[in-house]
Amino acid sequence: MRIIIFANGELPNLDNAHALIKPSDFIICADGGTRHALTLGLIPNLIIGDMDSLPLNFQLSNFNGEVILYPKDKNETDLELAINHAITLNPNEILIMGALGGRIDHTLANISLLTHYRLLTYDLRLNDGLEEIFLCKDQVQIKGRSGDIVSLIPWQGNVEGVTTQNLKWKLNNETLYFDKTRGISNEMISDIATISITKGLLLIVHQIK
């Protein structure tokens, strides 16, 4: 089971975003993320949040799916609530769309959500159709095209034992430092690249062609 969560950020390339959707996906909208689902011609299975940013042309009273309403005064963003609910459904994969762009505080908070200990066992990725962002905790594959730009960003501290395959500038059991930019703008030389680490959390930013 794969869950798609639509957040209320930006989707700069609707064609690329639509190509990511599969008919079998379970669609969750975090409040204002409903606008993206509707624009893409999708009917959400679930809408969750405080409902303060729903599209003006959308009437919740006419919606036949599930609605989980939270008060506006709460400690979590609507996206965090959506993720928390998604993991109760025991998915194999969670793809979050519309979580980037717009307010920088929301973008940074959305990226930080990837690091929550409850989520580290899930295949959880942010994707806006132009960039894919996810964490490497031990080993990951990046599927794309030769020439794609890939940045490796140490997250929450230094990352040790970084080894890459099929990236132009190779790393072999090396350390990427939290306060250095060495991992920025590497390049895929094949359609699949592999990255492994021995310690730390590595944020992967894959620019999609």
| CA distances (Å), origin 196, targets 12, 25, 65, 70 | 30, 29, 41, 40
**Where in the chain is CATH 2.60.120.320?**
136-207
d(CA 191, CA 159): 25
| pLDDT classification of 155: cutoffs 50, 70, 90 | very high
Instruction: For residue range 78-92, list pLDDT tens digits in order.
Output: 999 999 999 999 999
Q: pTM here? A: 0.91
Instruction: For residue range 100-144, list pLDDT tens digits in order.
Output: 887 899 899 999 988 887 777 788 999 999 999 999 999 999 999
d(CA 181, CA 169): 14
Pick the CATH number of 2-129 from 3.30.465.10, 3.40.50.10240, 3.30.930.10, 3.20.20.70: 3.40.50.10240
d(CA 33, CA 38): 9
**Where in the chain is CATH 3.40.50.10240?**
2-129
pLDDT of residue 102: 77
Beta strands in 18-173 (DSSP E): 26-30, 46-49, 66-69, 93-97, 123-127, 131-136, 139-143, 149-165
- Token pair for 63: 């919606």
Class of domain 136-207: mainly beta
In the chain, what is the greatest distance between 2 CA atoms, to the nearest angstrom? 57
